Structure 1
Amino acid sequence: MLEGVNVALGVTGSIAAVKTVELAHELRRQGAEVRGVMTGSAQGIIHPWAVEFATDNDVVTEITGSVEHVELCGYDGWADVFLIAPATANTVGKIAGAVDDTPVTTCATTALGADTPVVIAPAMHEPMYDHPGVLEAIDTVAEWGVEFVDPRIEEGKAKIASEEAIVCDVARAAGDRSLEGRHVVITTGATAESIDPVRVITNRSSGKMGRAVARACYARGADVTLVHGVVGPQSASAYASPPPAIPYATVRNVESAAEMLEATRDVCTDADTLVSAAAIGDYTVEGSDEKLRSGRERSLELEPTPKLIDSIRDERPELPIVGFKAEASGDESAMIGQARDTLERAGLAFVVANDASVMGADRTAALLVHEDDAARYEGTKSGLGGEIADSIAAIVGERGS
């Protein structure tokens, strides 16, 4: 997500500075080059050697005759984006007042003057975050184009945002914004049809692919709505902790195929694109209001569920729709044929055809099938999400022009 991006990481004197090492590692895992800048207060919480270790670069702890702030964040400076994480109330107030008495605030003033993107992840106690002066400072700085990564309000504290949220906003700030002002709707996950209050019919979809597309579209500037179904059967390790929040999209949680269609129909009224990545069940069943007793033979009468893309196509004939087609045969020519049938039937922009064996995995092999050609992709689902987002940007751009 951050391949080739240079991130100057400003660290200030919040206790959340203890998370800096892992944040720096995550930025680098996503492809970024990172250089640290620290205030004196931050150095009282985490040693500069730890930040040097995490970034594999020297750390700026004072501004010297080498004018480090200009070299990092000035005109033609090294940084593509200046990230301050964590940012204290003190630092945000100083930035709003152009007070430059720490390496971080001096870099911030320089970046703002040089039009280098700035991203701020605040962290402080909740009463400080609610102070009128702090809120006014945040509003002032935001009006200058600074991106704020909203903190998590927990236990009376405005805790620093998750690493995923920070990485997504850094990617958005540093990217080309090819989907700026566009509303992208993405369906993902599995659907589940109730047999009775405790039993369902579902499938193995994890929703990873749809979430990867959502992150990629968000990083390109889109407003993203994610219509998220359930997560299919997985090993116990998948449930070791609560599922993380999704900071890059407005989420509509649904369960059944009917609920997914209704929610998608609702949010597509002003959509610029629909990506139908969900593994929607092909059949539903008339469920029982009471739990069915075990030990008896039973037959379930299955009824076909409506095709979501066909229903949306009828209502929005001009809407670019990206379809997904999962096949279990492993036969590439058959996958392309099935994808083209779907593409032509529903008038889709393109179809992503993949092998059903990748459900739940982090890597995938897929074919991006257009009307006249098919491109093969092998790699991470995150990488495929980027390819899909770029294709969407090209299609939406052509229509917009």
Structure 2
Amino acid sequence: MLANKRILLIIGGGIAAYKALELIRRLQDGGARVTPVLTRAGAEFVTPLSVSALAGQRVFQHLFDLTDEAEMGHIELSRSADLIVVAPATADLMAKMAGGQADDLASTLLLATDTPVLMAPAMNVRMWEHPATRRNLATLQADGIARVGPNDGSMACGEFGPGRMAEPAEIVAAVAAALGDGPLKGRRIVVTSGPTHEPIDPVRYIANRSSGAQGTAIARALAALGAEVIFVTGPASVPPPPGVTVVPVETALQMSAAVDAALPADAGVFAAAVADWRVKTASDRQLKKTRDGMPALEFAENPDILARISQLTEGRPALVVGFAAETDEVVAHATAKRARKGCDWIVANDVSPATGIMGGSENAIVLISAEGAEAWPRMGKDAVAQRLAERIAAALA
């Protein structure tokens, strides 16, 4: 999907620079040609020799290289690529980009280019959350700079939180999305994700433990394969991916209406954990404790989005994928659910507390289709998403 694409990779100075070595290899595996630019700080973490050996060509480091600059090398470098990737994009590099500085080769390339830019930020959590970085991020986004990550995680400094650079596989997916290429180019896919919040009163609501991580990963993977993704998301704890159209909702009724508005589509992937029930008449005032005990709550059934879309007689997506979160007899219950709903596939998983899957970083699924049940090994949710996206692409081909 990246065959013959020219990527200019700027490697900033941070411990995450070591991931740039794997990133080079993954980009090359996809068919891309990678030209590396190593900042002075980046060279404190990875050597020019290792970068050059992996890239298969020389590493550019210095702005005032007489041979290169006699031919205006920084101008040529900045405009000869299909995409410029900055990974890691440190706080310093982001500040230079936002301020239009050009005091080294990397910042000069970024200022002199008319090529699309994708950055993968990486820094200490306090630096990421600092008002100056937030201002710089807003400026860069307004300038059209695409972004992947950062993720939450443990850092070399010993702190935990947002600031960890996206994994190489995520960056490769974002590169493909930024280039707008792939087997799903021209396809429109609706993805639902996250929980729904069903209000009891202005303070309380009914919800579930879904983080939205798997739905988000699926949307990102589909976009990376070139799809136009309409991402209908409940109040998830993970941010939506770049490169998709985000439709935020709170309740099941809102999600159902948003899905309708997103049609027609080539496929629908219904990964959201939609509440089955809602309070029939939510109070417009906070419910108070009384001597009479608990207030009586009357419930109403929420719309079954998956079943309704699966059973459309006109405008049904060619492929409808549902999800089944089960705590026992996973295959039997998911198989029955597929027949009952009328969808093409069911992605089933065991979310009993012992698995750690709901809200965790891994998943172990069984894909239920007309051909039967196919168990996948436990893997990261990004890997599950990539594999599912590729199966969807093959089914729509």
TM-score range, shorter chain: 0.5 to 0.7
For 1:264-322, what per-residue CA distance to the aligned partner results, in whole angstroms no more than 9, with x for missing partners? Answer: 111123x2211000000000112000000025222211111111123334252354211
- Aligned positions of 1:161-172 closer than 5 A: 161=147, 162=149, 163-164=165-166, 166-172=171-177
What residue identity is the alignment partner of 1:258? Answer: L
What is the distance in 2 between the residues matched to 1:120 and 1:166? 9
Q: Is the 8 A contact 1:69 1:106 kept in 2?
A: no
The reply to whether residue 262 of structure 1 matches residue 274 of structure 2 is no
What is the distance in 2 between the residues matched to 1:58 and 1:72? 11
- Aligned positions of 1:27-46 closer than 5 A: 28=22, 32=26, 37-38=36-37, 42-43=39-40, 46=41
What is the distance in 2 between the residues matched to 1:177 and 1:98? 38
What is the distance in 2 between the residues matched to 1:289 and 1:174? 48
The reply to whether residue 321 of structure 1 matches residue 290 of structure 2 is no
Q: Is the 8 A contact 1:8 1:72 kept in 2?
A: no
Change (3 A) 1:70 1:49: closer
TM-score (norm 1): 0.67
Structure 2 stretches lacking a partner, 5+ long: 29-33, 87-92, 102-108, 122-132, 150-164
Change (3 A) 1:386 1:335: farther
Q: Determine the structure 2 residue equivalent to 1:383.
A: 383
Shift, 1:105, TM fit? 5.1
Q: Determine the structure 2 residue equivalent to 1:58.
A: 50
Q: Determine the structure 1 residue equivalent to 2:300.
A: 303
Q: Determine the structure 2 residue equivalent to 1:184.
A: 189
Q: Is the 8 A contact 2:232 2:249 kept in 1?
A: yes
Q: Determine the structure 2 residue equivalent to 1:274.
A: 268
Q: Decide which of 241, 248, 256 is 1:246's aligned counterpart.
A: 241
- Aligned positions of 1:352-371 closer than 5 A: 352-357=347-352, 358-371=357-370
Q: Is the 8 A contact 1:183 1:224 kept in 2?
A: yes
Q: Is the 8 A contact 2:269 2:321 kept in 1?
A: yes
What is the distance in 1 between the residues matched to 2:25 and 2:337? 33
What is the distance in 2 between the residues matched to 1:30 and 1:10? 8
What is the distance in 2 between the residues matched to 1:30 and 1:377? 28
In percent, how many aligned pairs have the same letter? 29
Q: Determine the structure 2 residue equivalent to 1:72.
A: 57
Q: Is the 8 A contact 1:339 1:369 kept in 2?
A: no
Q: Determine the structure 2 residue equivalent to 1:206.
A: 211
The reply to whether residue 341 of structure 1 matches residue 356 of structure 2 is no
What residue identity is the alignment partner of 1:158? Answer: L
Shift, 1:178, TM fit? 1.3
What is the distance in 2 between the residues matched to 1:38 and 1:390? 32
Considering only aligned residues, what root-mean-square deviation do their CA atoms show, in Å? 4.4
What is the distance in 1 between the residues matched to 2:383 and 2:396? 20
For 1:321-359, what per-residue CA distance to the aligned partner results, in whole angstroms no more than 9, with x for missing partners? Answer: 111111111x244234324324xx42x221111112321
